[in-house]
Every structure is written in C-alpha cells, then in structure tokens.
Amino acid sequence: MNKYTQEHYDFIAKKVKGLSNKELLKLVNDKFNNLFSLKTLKAYKANNKLSSGLTGQFKKGHVPSNKGKKLSRETYEKIKSTMFKKGNIPHYHRPIGSERVNPKDNLIQIKIAEPNKWQYKQRYIWEKETGNKIPKDSVIIFLDGNQRNFEPSNLACISKNENLRLNQKKLRSEHADITLTNINIVRLDNVIKEKMEGKRQNNGKH
C-alpha cells in the first residue's frame, strides 16, 4: 500500500519551488513527522515530476553579494597563505601533454593547452596523424574495441549515423580489419538507400 497520500503531494507541490532538497526535507518532515529521508524525497520528486526550478547555476546578470567589498584585515590575514600570487603555479597544475582518465566514460584525455584545455586522446592523435579536423557529426572509434590502443591504424573517423548502425547491428569486432570491413558495408548500404530514395522521389514527380 502506498504510504504517500494526496495531502503529501499537495504540500510538497506547493513548497517545492525555489527550495533545495535539504530545505524541502526539513519542511516536509516537520509537517509529516519525519516521513522522508533525503533519498526518498528525491525519488518522490522525480516520480511525480516535481521540480524546484533550481539549476545550481547563477542566473545571467547575477551580482555576487560581496562584489565591490574589500576583505577585512582579519579575514585577509586568515586566508592570505592560501592565496595565489601572480606567477605562482598551483601544486596540482598539469603541464601540456599530461594525460588523465575521464571518470564519466573511462576514456583517456590529453592536455593540449593552458590553462585547462583537454581533448580525448584518440581525437588528438587522429587529427595529428591525418592533419584534418574531425567533422562535427563524426566520432573517432577504436577498431579493435580496445580503448587503450592508440595506434593510428586502430583509429577510424566515422559519422555518428554509421556509429549508431554499427551498434544496432552489432558489427563491432575485436579484430580491427573486420570492424573496418563492416564500416564499409554500412557506408555502401547507406549509399544504396540514398540512391533508392532518390529514384522514388524522381518517380513521384512524374
């Protein structure tokens, strides 16, 4: 049996706008005797499509409350040891050419410019080896499926549509030459479809 009632929904829907989850949680639990945990409140909002409208970002034109104000001498003395001086390099600085693993997709990125510009390593290598820019509608894939094999011969530039077709038809292989053959098959299939569509359109004009 669902322990949440229409009364719960009406109260939360009325209060949700402009409040963080923690702020809303306090109001709800004060009203309904600790009915929710932070986790269950988030789930309830998601399930019922209730949104605070907060994005976590300052709106355009937002003026910080401390703009134009000078630090007090007491505050300055407390934090001056942590302030960067002009020309100082922070201890966590990574030089150009450094590599890191992007935790979102486990792919390797390489630092290509200061102060903090990174690029996926496979894209960097492909552009460097070919001398070409990657088209906006294209991706660089690892032909053998090994995301740590950055040999130029293992990298291929294909359109997002071709990448989708490879995934849908399960045409990827651990053997680079087989995947490359399948890419050519997908491309040939696309050409045939385009020509057939062109013929149908021309026939429809008569």
Q: What confidence category does residue 32 fall into, taking pLDDT thresholds of 50, 70 and 90?
A: confident
Tens-digit pLDDT profile for residues 69-98: 676 777 767 666 666 566 666 667 889 999
Is the Cβ–Cβ distance between 146 and 139 less than 8 Å?
Answer: no
Statement: residue 49 has pLDDT above 90: no
Sign of CA dihedral 119, 121, 126, 128: positive
Sign of CA dihedral 34, 37, 42, 48: negative
pLDDT, residue 108, reads 95
Tens-digit pLDDT profile for residues 112-151: 998 889 999 999 999 999 999 999 999 999 999 999 999 9
Q: Which residues does 145 contact at the CB level (< 8 Å), separation at least 6?
A: 172, 173, 174, 179
Angle at the Cα of 99 from the Cα atoms of 111 and 92, rounded to 5 degrees: 80
Query: pLDDT higher for 192 or 92?
Result: 192
* Cα→Cα distances 204→195, 197, 198, Å: 14, 11, 10
Is the Cβ–Cβ distance between 117 and 111 less than 8 Å?
Answer: yes
Statement: residue 99 has pLDDT above 90: yes
pLDDT, residue 158, reads 96
**Distance, CA of 83 to CA of 195 (rounded, Å):** 64
Q: What's the mean pLDDT when you consider all of the chain?
A: 85
Helix or strand run (H / E) with residue 139: strand 138-142
Query: pLDDT higher for 61 or 4?
Result: 4
Task: Look up the pTM and report it.
Answer: 0.54
Statement: residue 176 has pLDDT above 60: yes
Edge-first strand order for the sheet with 99-102 is: 99-102, 107-113, 117-120
